[in-house]
């Protein structure tokens, strides 16, 4: 597994320090400012401005299509230009300002992501809207289980209060595992890595030849990716069936089962950054699920489940997709969490003992293999220097959980305090699973965990209040697991930009506090200005109806799931544990070819298309390594980051065009040719 660890960690001047006096030891020459200098008043002001902008964009996407792209890169880019413009203007006026460092840039990006992240995990286009009167009426007053008493209309008071009592727990749930996730497991967090490379490129000083070449390479592929997305937009028409994103490159039959190459620079870039085993595991999971399992279960329509159900109905194929994928994720996450706990206890019991082999890390005993480069040593030392005490994380989580346990039932009387407490006991495990999966594949599956919480809580409460209780539980779960994954991704960015984890954590707290106010206020602008939830209007909020129907179904409990669903889930849960055991007990030469269950599970729910994109990226890297390994090591990360950054930056003008109701001029779509 040594090759896996090596591929997971991209090195070079651009990542190490962003420049210096020489190409060989650029990191050593750089001064790292204390963590208090990284969090600045001007940075917080810029973060608040960008937080408002990105919350508006997120709400717009939430209320129209329900799909939110990663805006980390855009946050880093706009943060740089705003603050650089600020300092340049003051300098022209003769005002002396502190230098704008990449650490301050990273803190701004972290704060913005924490702020706009609540516009998504807050459920303003999903579970929160599912509670209102209009959604109740859309489903129909005669719909079985849809009761008039299960209605709670939006208001600023309870929405802001709910955000404050549930949004901070995710920050404390995994902060003690940051070393394990970022340094020991060497999880790539592709968007976080790309953001770090972009920020480093902004602050690169002249003198490092390799760094300058990497910056040039990143800028080139960023431009290509941005222009390609602009070109794709012209053919994407209105709706979700047009354009290159729906190109049946492998044929129409394969397209129906989500097997197609969708020309996404982001996931090609992810394939270049992620280890080969991650990309191959993802493709294998896509083949197992969309190539065999789902087509087979589809043949049982009318037998195992009703044949006339919608694509998002838990009683049909959708139920299999959600629960089976989560069972694999939970099996993998539980196994690795137990491993971490065991290794920690063993180290405490015996100071001389070493941690067991981790899924993506090679433990090397030889002197040469254990020597860290100067760049990596500086990154690790900086990352571990300003520790966030474990007692602070633990006590913070317990105190916030206690406050939330007492407060949530006041906002939602249908949710009993002991159910909220149970949610907070289980939440760290789910947060770990989501953060681990996001580190491997860049997918944040918080909405999936939210749906599981929705289903379980609705079934526990039952007929009297189960619908609202399930939706509220969905909010609690989504908030924790989403915030934890965002925090760990930002820690990865901070690790690569030599930013203090303490400044990152403080900026997350500030950004979350801003988001608790900004996200509800910006949503209220849409709520008061537009006809939200109108199926014939612009802001259809399609997921509101889906989430309410899920909660109504959840009231009936697991008996409402399709036939054999739970039995198949048990099998896949056990398989995930067995595969992990095999990875740990087999020789290294064999273990490096055994797939990762977590990576396999993501396409079970999402689809096969992104796995194909990632495999294309890993295939390019594989060939490149055989042709010129040194060149691939130096520039693969820069190219990947450029592709991801260009795609991320395009999301901002794309959203603005959508808000201004400027539609693409053409719709390119495909259909079977007419037989003669």
The model's pLDDT over 473-529, given as tens digits with 9 standing for 90+, comes to: 989 988 898 888 888 888 999 998 888 889 999 999 999 999 999 999 989 888 887
CA gap 316, 546 in Å, rounded: 14
Q: What's the whole-number average pLDDT of the chain?
A: 81
| Model pLDDT for residues 433-472, shown as the tens digit of each residue | 888 878 877 777 787 788 888 888 988 888 888 899 999 9
Residue 210 in this model has a pLDDT that exceeds 80: no
Phi, psi of 68 (to 5 degrees): -115, 120
Ramachandran quadrant class, 258 (left: phi over 0; alpha: psi -120 to 50; beta: rest): left
pLDDT at 674: 62
Q: Which of 617, 672, 606 is nearest to 642 (CA)?
A: 617
Q: Which residue has the tokens 């990716």?
A: 225
Answer positive or negative: Cα dihedral of 119, 443, 234, 653: positive
Angle at alpha carbon of residue 419, lines to 413 and 421, rounded to 5°: 110
Range 386-400 average pLDDT: 87
Q: Residue 461 in contact with residue 470, Cβ under 8 Å?
A: yes
Using CA atoms, how far residue 653 sits from 47, 60, 232, 244, 557, in Å, is: 19, 13, 13, 18, 44
SS3 236: strand
Reported as a pLDDT band with limits 50, 70 and 90, residue 545 is confident
537: left (phi over 0), alpha (psi -120 to 50) or beta: beta
Angle at CA 281, nearest 5°, toward 317 and 328? Answer: 45
- In whole angstroms, give the CA distance from residue 194 to residue 15: 10
Q: Please state which of the ranges 375-379, 402-406, 479-483, 495-499 shows the lowest mean pLDDT.
A: 375-379
The mean pLDDT value for 259-287 works out to 85
- Does residue 341 have a pLDDT over 60? yes
For the ranges 51-55, 234-238, 622-626, which has the lowest average pLDDT?
234-238
Six token digits for residue 283? 């493709």
pLDDT-derived band at 74, boundaries 50, 70, 90: confident
What pLDDT was estimated at residue 332? Answer: 81
pLDDT at 28 over 60: no
For residue 376, give the nearest of 495, 489, 490, 275 by alpha carbon.
Answer: 495
**How many angstroms separate the CA atoms of 55 and 72, rounded?**
13
Q: pLDDT, tens digit, for every residue of 134-170?
A: 888 887 777 778 888 888 998 999 999 999 999 999 8
| Torsion angle in degrees (nearest 10) through CA of 406, 410, 416, 422 | -40
The alpha carbon dihedral of 34, 36, 41, 45 has a sign of: positive
Residue 10 is classified by DSSP as: -
Q: Which residues contact 148 (CB under 8 A, 6 or more apart)?
A: 136, 141
Q: Does the pTM of the predicted model rise above 0.75?
A: no
Strand ranges inside 102-258, DSSP E: none
């Amino acid at each position: 597994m040594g090759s896996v660890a090596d591929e997971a960690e991209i090195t070079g001047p651009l990542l190490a320090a962003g420049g210096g006096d020489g190409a060989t030891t650029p990191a050593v020459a750089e001064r790292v400012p204390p963590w208090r200098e990284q969090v600045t008043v001007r940075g917080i002001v810029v973060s608040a401005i960008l937080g408002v902008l990105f919350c508006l964009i997120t709400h717009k996407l939430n209320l129209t299509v329900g799909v939110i792209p990663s805006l980390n890169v855009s946050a880093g880019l706009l943060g740089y230009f705003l603050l650089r413009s600020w300092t340049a203007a003051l300098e022209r006026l003769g005002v002396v300002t502190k230098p704008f460092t990449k650490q301050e840039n990273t803190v701004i990006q972290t704060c913005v992501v924490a702020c706009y992240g609540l516009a998504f995990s807050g459920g303003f286009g999903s579970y929160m809207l599912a509670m209102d009167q209009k959604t109740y009426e859309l489903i129909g007053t005669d719909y079985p289980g849809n009761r008039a008493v299960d209605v709670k209309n939006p208001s600023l008071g309870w929405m802001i209060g709910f955000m404050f009592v549930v949004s901070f727990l995710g920050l404390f749930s995994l902060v003690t595992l940051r070393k394990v996730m970022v340094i020991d497991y060497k999880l790539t967090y592709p968007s976080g890595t790309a953001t770090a490379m972009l920020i480093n490129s902004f602050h690169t000083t002249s003198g490092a030849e390799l760094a300058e070449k990497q910056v040039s390479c990143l800028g080139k592929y960023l431009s290509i990716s941005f222009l390609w997305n602009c070109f794709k937009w012209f053919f994407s028409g209105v709706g979700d069936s047009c354009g290159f994103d729906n190109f049946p490159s492998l044929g129409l039959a394969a397209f129906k089962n989500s097997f197609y190459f969708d020309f996404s620079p982001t996931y090609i870039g992810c394939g270049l950054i992620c280890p080969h085993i991650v990309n191959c595991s993802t493709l294998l999971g896509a083949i197992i699920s969309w190539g065999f399992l789902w087509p087979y279960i589809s043949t049982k329509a009318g037998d195992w489940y009703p044949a006339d159900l919608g694509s998002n109905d838990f009683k049909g194929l959708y139920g299999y997709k959600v629960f089976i994928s989560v069972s694999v994720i939970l099996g993998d996450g539980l196994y690795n969490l137990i491993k971490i706990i065991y290794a920690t206890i063993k180290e405490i019991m015996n100071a001389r003992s070493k941690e067991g082999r981790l899924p993506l890390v090679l433990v090397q005993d030889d002197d040469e293999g254990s020597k860290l480069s100067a760049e990596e040593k500086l990154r690790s030392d900086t990352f571990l220097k300003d520790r966030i005490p474990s007692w602070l994380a633990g006590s913070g989580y317990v105190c916030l959980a206690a406050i939330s346990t007492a407060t949530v039932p006041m906002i939602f009387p249908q949710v009993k305090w002991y159910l909220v407490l149970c949610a907070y006991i289980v939440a760290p495990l789910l947060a770990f699973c989501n953060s681990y999966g996001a580190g491997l594949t860049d997918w944040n599956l918080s909405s999936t965990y939210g749906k599981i919480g929705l289903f379980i809580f609705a079934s526990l409460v039952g007929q009297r209040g189960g619908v609202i209780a399930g939706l509220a539980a969905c909010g609690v779960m989504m908030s924790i697991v989403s915030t934890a994954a965002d925090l760990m991704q930002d820690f990865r960015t901070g690790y690569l930009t030599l930013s203090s984890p303490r400044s990152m954590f403080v900026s997350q707290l500030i950004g979350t506090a801003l988001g608790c106010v900004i996200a509800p206020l910006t949503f209220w602008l849409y709520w008061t200005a537009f006809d939200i939830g109108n199926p014939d209007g612009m802001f259809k909020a399609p997921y509101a109806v889906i989430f309410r129907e899920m909660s109504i179904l959840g009231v009936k409990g697991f008996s409402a799931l399709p036939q054999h669903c739970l039995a198949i889930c048990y099998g896949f849960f056990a398989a995930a544990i067995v595969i992990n055991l095999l990875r740990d007990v087999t020789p290294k030469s064999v273990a490096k070819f055994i797939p990762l269950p977590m990576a396999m599970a993501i396409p079970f729910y999402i689809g096969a298309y992104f796995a194909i994109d990632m495999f294309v990226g890993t295939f390019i890297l594989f060939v490149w390594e055989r042709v010129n390994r040194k060149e691939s090591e130096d520039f693969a990360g820069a190219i990947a980051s450029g592709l991801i950054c260009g795609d991320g930056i395009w999301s901002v003008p794309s959203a603005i065009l959508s808000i201004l109701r400027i539609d693409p001029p053409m719709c390119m779509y495909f259909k079977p040719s007419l037989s003669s």
